[in-house]
């Protein structure tokens, strides 16, 4: 069946839902070398396709980072999702984990001949909260599903920014906007393969329903009108950041980061209360990228490192600013030796001549 899809229909890849179930024997016990997984990886045709595993199943076989792969299978990186969600919303003690995830999750995938792109990074998937709901709801709201609210995951690592659900409070709405931009920026600057969910580019909501697959309604229908209404702000930011990633090679390295590729501007990784992280991604031609993420509820005045020789820092992203100033492709000059990073916001500076 898989071969037919590739040969006859020119499908270029497959994502296997709950793929860990294919790593069990007839008695349900985990297998070290599951034959079907190996056969797909070794097949002359299928091995050239994109092969992606959702590396867990309903029975609790969680194989993120250890899915049998023969250096071919990529994985949905569930730890990226959880760690990035926790850090951006301000959970303490997550700075080191956040750094590991945006750097490509070498702790999980730097094994044998695996590459950073074997980590499929995501914050949102088809199951669970939409991005807007991730920053608008602390709890799932699944009553419409007819299961008494018992369906859907309870561990969403979400934060409603001060009010559960829809609100007219301008400060909460602004905070939610910043947080969605922070999540998107973190995803797009991370080493690995980024995945986002259709609808997040215009802030689609399911009103807190995190298991809405059974609804043939506006909960799941693409809202073209909302896309048009938000084309000049929310959508613009998402679009521009995606394009920026695609045109900057520092975000998609073929190998895991070495000490020459990144400088972490951090001297106290063990500070449990620190929710701020800054680092520089180095480019061989001097087009370095400086990033800072502030998940504190207060401003952080950070010292900006000197740019490479004969270059200056230009501000490309500041998620605290309104559109179109939140993303300026040509960059805004004049960045000094310090930058006051706003609460729950992030910045990106680019070294240019």
List the CATH number of the domain containing 287: 2.60.40.1180
Whether cis (ω within 30° of 0) applies to the bond prior to 111 is no
Tokens (6 digits) for 337: 């030796």
Q: What is the mean pLDDT of residues 182-195?
A: 98
CATH number of the domain that 140 lies in? 3.20.20.80
**Is 1's pLDDT higher than 90?**
no
Same domain, 188 and 241: yes
Under the banding of pLDDT at 50, 70 and 90, the label for residue 255 is very high
Same domain, 163 and 266: no
Same domain, 202 and 291: no
For residue 201, is it within any domain?
A: yes
For residue 332, is it within any domain?
A: yes
The domain in which residue 348 lies consists of 257-352
Q: How many CA within 13 A on the CB side of residue 261?
A: 13
Q: What is the mean pLDDT of residues 236-256?
A: 97
Instruction: Check residue 189 and give its pLDDT.
Output: 98
Q: Which residue has the tokens 């975000």?
A: 251
pLDDT tens string 106-116:
999 999 999 99
Under the banding of pLDDT at 50, 70 and 90, the label for residue 306 is very high
Under the banding of pLDDT at 50, 70 and 90, the label for residue 120 is very high
Q: What is the mean pLDDT of residues 325-332?
A: 98
Number of domains in the chain: 2
Same domain, 222 and 282: no
Q: Which residues are identified as catalytic? A: 17, 54
Q: Which of 224, 246, 268 is the last residue of a domain?
A: 246
For residue 305, is it within any domain?
A: yes
Under the banding of pLDDT at 50, 70 and 90, the label for residue 232 is very high
Q: Are 262 and 251 in contact (CB under 8 A)?
A: no
The DSSP-derived string for 41-87 is HH-TTGGGSEEEE----TT----TTTS--TTT-EEE-HHHHHHHHHH
For residue 106, is it within any domain?
A: yes
Same domain, 312 and 235: no
Instruction: Check residue 325 and give its pLDDT.
Output: 98
Strands 193-195 and 327-332: unpaired
Same domain, 179 and 319: no
Q: What is the mean pLDDT of residues 183-201?
A: 98
For residue 233, is it within any domain?
A: yes
Same domain, 99 and 240: yes
Kindly state the helix (H) or strand (E) to which residue 263 belongs, with its residue range.
strand 262-264
Q: Which of 246, 278, 307 is the last residue of a domain?
A: 246
Give the number of other Cβ atoms within 10 Å of residue 71's Cβ.
Answer: 11
For residue 251, is it within any domain?
A: no
Strand partners, 339: 302
**Taking the mean position of all CA atoms in its chain, how far away is CA 228?**
24
Same domain, 230 and 274: no
Q: What is the mean pLDDT of residues 168-177?
A: 98
Same domain, 12 and 154: yes
pLDDT tens string 60-76:
999 999 999 999 999 99
Instruction: Check residue 182 and give its pLDDT.
Output: 98
Same domain, 7 and 123: yes
For residue 72, is it within any domain?
A: yes
């Amino acid at each position: 069946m898989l071969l037919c899809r590739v040969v006859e229909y020119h499908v270029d890849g497959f994502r296997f839902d709950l793929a860990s179930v294919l790593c069990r024997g007839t008695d349900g016990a985990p297998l070290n070398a599951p034959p079907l997984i190996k056969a797909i990886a070794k097949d002359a045709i299928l091995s050239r396709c994109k092969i992606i595993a959702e590396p867990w199943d309903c029975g609790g076989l969680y194989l993120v980072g250890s899915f049998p792969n023969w250096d071919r299978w990529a994985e949905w990186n569930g730890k990226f999702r959880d760690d990035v969600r926790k850090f951006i919303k301000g959970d303490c003690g997550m700075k080191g984990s956040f750094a590991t995830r945006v750097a490509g999750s070498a702790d999980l995938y730097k094994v044998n001949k695996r590459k950073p792109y074997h980590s499929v990074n995501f914050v949102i998937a088809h199951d669970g909260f939409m991005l807007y709901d991730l920053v608008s709801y602390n709890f799932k709201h699944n009553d419409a599903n007819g299961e008494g609210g018992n369906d859907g995951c309870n561990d969403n690592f979400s934060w409603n920014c001060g009010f559960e659900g829809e609100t007219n409070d301008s400060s909460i709405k602004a905070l939610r906007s910043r947080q969605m931009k922070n999540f998107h920026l973190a995803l797009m600057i991370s080493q690995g393969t980024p995945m986002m969910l259709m609808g997040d580019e215009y802030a689609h909501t399911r009103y807190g329903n995190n298991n809405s697959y059974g609804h043939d309604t506006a909960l799941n229908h693409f809202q073209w009108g909302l896309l048009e209404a938000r084309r000049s702000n929310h959508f613009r930011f998402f679009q521009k950041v995606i394009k920026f990633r695609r045109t900057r090679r520092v975000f998609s390295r073929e190998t895991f980061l070495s000490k020459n590729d990144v400088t972490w501007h951090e001297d106290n990784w063990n500070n449990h209360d620190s929710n701020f992280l800054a680092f520089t991604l180095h480019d061989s031609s001097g087009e370095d990228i400086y990033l800072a993420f502030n998940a504190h509820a207060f401003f952080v005045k950070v010292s900006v490192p000197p740019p490479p020789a004969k270059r200056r820092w230009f501000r490309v992203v500041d998620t605290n600013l309104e559109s179109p100033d939140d993303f300026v492709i040509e960059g805004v000059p004049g960045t000094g030796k310090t930058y006051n990073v706003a609460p729950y916001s992030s910045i990106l500076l680019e070294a240019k001549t």
